[in-house]
């Protein structure tokens, strides 16, 4: 794992969008793992802009989202399918048949989870996985006590997650209590992953995820085991990192980041 600190949220999102665009140009058939949430909206706006102004081509790209709420139709404005369609999929030249999310309305949820794993496998695995992080330290909906080798499955949302998402549902009482999520093991199978976090509210959990011990109580700590994981944060989210000066030096001096400076 490496941590990259950018001055503000806009520059952090811009770096993530640049990495995605660069990987896509090198590999037009990129298998891209995607995340939702407020933090990701800036990344999708930048990618749409690159598509419209710089002809960034998504026509051969395949996408797999981390998760979906159980019990929400794809047309429900609170569903992640709706979120992705409105903010990204329909604004670029992605083939809708190549965009995948778990089906939260499936009659047999266990079968849906197995099928989702099989779809990822048939595409050759995920090349680049984009991640956010919840206040409970989760990636996807891998809530506290998620096994580090877990696969796509049904998870019950923690009270912290329900309360964090309440603002999108007009109150906690309306937030679904279960979701289908890629497992921690599924995420760790990707070839490269990037976690984006911004704002002071993420400072505590970022410090635990990056510099704390690996624990199933904070599923993001499992990313320390990944051979090619980058955590991109702004100065506010980096506020409690003990080695922040070292992480800033990495971006300013390491050759792999030269094209992004």
The pTM assigned to this predicted structure is 0.96
Q: What is the C-alpha to C-alpha distance for residues 10 and 13, in angstroms, rounded to an integer?
A: 5
- pLDDT at position 250 over 90: yes
Count other Cβ atoms within 10 Å, centred on residue 120.
22
Do 241 and 211 contact (CB within 8 A), yes or no?
Answer: yes
pLDDT of residue 254: 94
- Residues paired with 31 in a beta bridge: 62
Average per-residue pLDDT for the chain: 97
pLDDT of residue 225: 97
Q: How confident is the model at residue 259 (pLDDT cuts 50, 70, 90)?
A: very high
* Residues in CB range of 226: below 8 A, 6 or more apart: 1, 188, 190, 193
pLDDT of residue 37: 93
Please report, to the nearest 10 degrees, the dihedral formed by the alpha carbons of residues 120, 123, 127, 130 taken in order: -40
pLDDT of residue 170: 84
Q: What is the C-alpha to C-alpha distance for residues 101 and 163, in angstroms, rounded to an integer?
A: 23
pLDDT of residue 125: 98
Q: What is the C-alpha to C-alpha distance for residues 171 and 68, in angstroms, rounded to an integer?
A: 19
Q: What percent of the chain has pLDDT over 70?
A: 100
- pLDDT at position 200 over 90: yes
pLDDT in tens, 163-199: 999 988 989 999 999 999 999 999 999 999 999 999 9
Q: What is the C-alpha to C-alpha distance for residues 5 and 204, in angstroms, rounded to an integer?
A: 15
* Residues in CB range of 95: below 8 A, 6 or more apart: 59
pLDDT in tens, 2-54: 999 999 999 999 999 999 999 999 999 999 999 999 999 999 999 999 999 99
Average pLDDT for 90-105: 98
* Residues in CB range of 24: below 8 A, 6 or more apart: 30, 32, 56, 57, 58, 61
- pLDDT at position 60 over 90: yes
pLDDT in tens, 21-31: 999 999 999 99
pLDDT in tens, 206-241: 999 999 999 999 999 999 999 999 999 999 999 999
Element (H, E) at 20: helix 9-26
Q: What percent of the chain has pLDDT over 90?
A: 97
């Amino acid at each position: 794992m490496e941590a990259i600190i950018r001055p503000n949220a806009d520059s952090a999102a811009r770096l993530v969008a640049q990495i995605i665009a660069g990987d896509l140009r090198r590999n037009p058939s990129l298998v891209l793992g995607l995340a939702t949430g407020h933090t990701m909206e800036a990344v999708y706006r930048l990618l749409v802009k690159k598509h419209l102004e710089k002809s960034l081509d998504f026509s051969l790209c395949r996408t797999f989202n981390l998760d979906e709420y159980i019990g929400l139709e794809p047309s429900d404005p609170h569903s992640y399918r709706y979120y992705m369609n409105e903010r990204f999929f329909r604004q670029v030249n992605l083939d809708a048949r190549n965009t995948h999310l778990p089906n939260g309305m499936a009659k047999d949820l266990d079968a849906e989870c197995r099928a989702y794993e099989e779809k990822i496998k048939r595409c050759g695995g995920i090349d680049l996985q984009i991640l956010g992080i919840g206040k409970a330290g989760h990636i996807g909906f891998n809530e506290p006590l998620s096994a580090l080798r877990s696969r796509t499955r049904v998870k019950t949302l923690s009270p912290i997650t329900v309360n964090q998402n309440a603002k999108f549902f007009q109150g906690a009482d309306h937030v679904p209590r279960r979701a289908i999520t890629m497992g921690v093991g599924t995420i760790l199978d990707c070839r490269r992953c990037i976690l984006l976090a911004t704002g002071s509210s993420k400072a505590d959990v970022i410090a635990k995820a990056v510099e704390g011990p690996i624990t199933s109580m904070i599923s993001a700590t499992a990313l320390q085991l990944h051979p090619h994981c980058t955590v991109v944060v702004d100065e506010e989210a980096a506020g409690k990192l003990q080695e922040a000066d070292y992480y800033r030096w990495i971006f300013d001096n390491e050759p792999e980041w030269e094209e992004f400076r």
